């Protein structure tokens, strides 16, 4: 290597890696329909993409991966599809916990799980407990989650504290509200990915995505493999995050 190349390398910075990645795993139904299969075949195939995405995230040192599995609006789907999704969630938890253990991944489910069948609630709690000591990455599954619901329950808990006289409403600031949401204490998502071609947030992490980099891809979730996930990370690495400042200010500070 020449001296010049050495100097260049010393000056080169590794592309930034997102600490927190949030994903709307969309397009399962269309993937199956394209193949003349029932929609649930797409949901089942999507489990492989969850696995490969987790692997890429741990390889790159992502700290938190939050995936949208079932929105508060998905109850509007046909009952048969809802039931199949619940079954799939249950079997995936049963099958995947061992893999999470061996990869040192902690599982957490965020959302109003009281609406789920008792058996699924129990399985969720058992999987969370089994992986509670794991430290390499937090895998957060949003199930019966809605961004508006999260903000609403945060507001309700602060209001209740104020009504008990434990809190002066004048002291409520952004940090306090953030700490009352389900993502309290975590870095906000740095990268938001939505597969399936639609470019909307669908009531996912509304409070937390204020400054998140958005990445939309037409690739349907079951086709979103490790190479696609790496492409998303590469796109993130090339972006300049300004948080209100000018580009020149950011370049000086970095
Ligand atoms: C996302 O895939 C999975 C869930 C919402 C549970 P969809 O089921 O929404 O697939 P499309 O959008 O109909 O193709
Ligand atoms: C968002 O996908 C929810 C999940 C992926 C779990 P949807 O397919 O439900 O979103 P919309 O209804 O098309 O916006
Ligand atoms: Mg969809």
CATH number at residue 107: 3.40.1180.10
Q: How much distance in Å is there from the Cα of 147 to the middle of ligand 1?
A: 18
Average pLDDT, stretch 109-134? Answer: 97
Counted domains in the chain: 1
160 lies in a domain?
Answer: no
pLDDT of residue 118: 97
Confidence of residue 2 (pLDDT cuts 50, 70, 90): very low
- Is pTM beyond 0.85? Reply is yes
153 lies in a domain?
Answer: no
CA angle (84, 89, 95) in 5-degree steps = 120
Confidence of residue 73 (pLDDT cuts 50, 70, 90): very high
Residue 3 confidence (pLDDT) above 50: no
The boundaries of the domain holding residue 125 are 17-146+189-238
For residue 205, give the nearest of 155, 144, 151, 137 by alpha carbon.
Answer: 151
73 lies in a domain?
Answer: yes
Cβ of 24 less than 6 Å from ligand 2: yes
Ligand 1 pocket residues where CB is under 6 Å: 25-30, 70, 74, 85, 196
104 lies in a domain?
Answer: yes
Backbone phi, psi, residue 205, to 5°: -85, 80
90 lies in a domain?
Answer: yes
pLDDT of residue 14: 82
The rounded percent of the chain whose pLDDT value lies above 70 is 95
Pocket probe for ligand 2: among 74, 195, 204, the residue whose CB has the most ligand atoms within 8 Å is: 74
176 lies in a domain?
Answer: no
Q: Which atom of ligand 2 is nearest to the CA of 24?
A: 5
pLDDT of residue 12: 62
Mean pLDDT of the chain: 95
């Amino acid at each position: 290597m020449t001296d010049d190349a050495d100097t260049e390398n010393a000056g080169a910075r590794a592309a930034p890696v997102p600490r927190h990645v949030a994903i709307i795993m969309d397009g399962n139904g269309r993937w199956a329909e394209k193949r003349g299969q029932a929609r649930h075949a797409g949901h089942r195939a999507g489990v492989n993409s969850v696995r490969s995405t987790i692997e890429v995230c741990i390889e790159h040192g992502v700290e938190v991966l939050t995936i949208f599995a079932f929105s508060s609006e998905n109850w509007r789907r046909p009952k048969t599809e809802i039931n199949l999704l619940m079954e799939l969630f249950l079997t995936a938890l049963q099958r995947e916990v061992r893999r999470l253990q061996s990869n040192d991944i902690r599982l957490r489910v965020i959302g109003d799980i009281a609406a789920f069948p008792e058996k699924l609630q129990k399985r969720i709690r058992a999987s969370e407990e089994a992986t509670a000591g794991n430290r390499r990455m937090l895998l957060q599954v949003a199930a019966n989650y809605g961004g508006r619901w999260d903000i609403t329950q945060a507001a309700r808990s602060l209001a209740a504290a104020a009504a008990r006289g434990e809190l002066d409403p004048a002291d409520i600031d952004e940090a306090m509200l953030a700490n009352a949401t389900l993502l309290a204490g975590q870095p906000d998502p740095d990268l938001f990915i939505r597969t399936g071609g639609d470019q909307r947030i669908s009531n996912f992490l509304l409070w937390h995505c204020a400054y998140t980099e958005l990445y939309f891809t037409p690739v349907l979730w079951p086709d979103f493999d490790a190479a696609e996930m790496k492409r998303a990370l590469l796109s993130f690495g090339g972006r300049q995050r300004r948080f209100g400042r000018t580009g020149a200010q950011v370049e000086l500070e970095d």
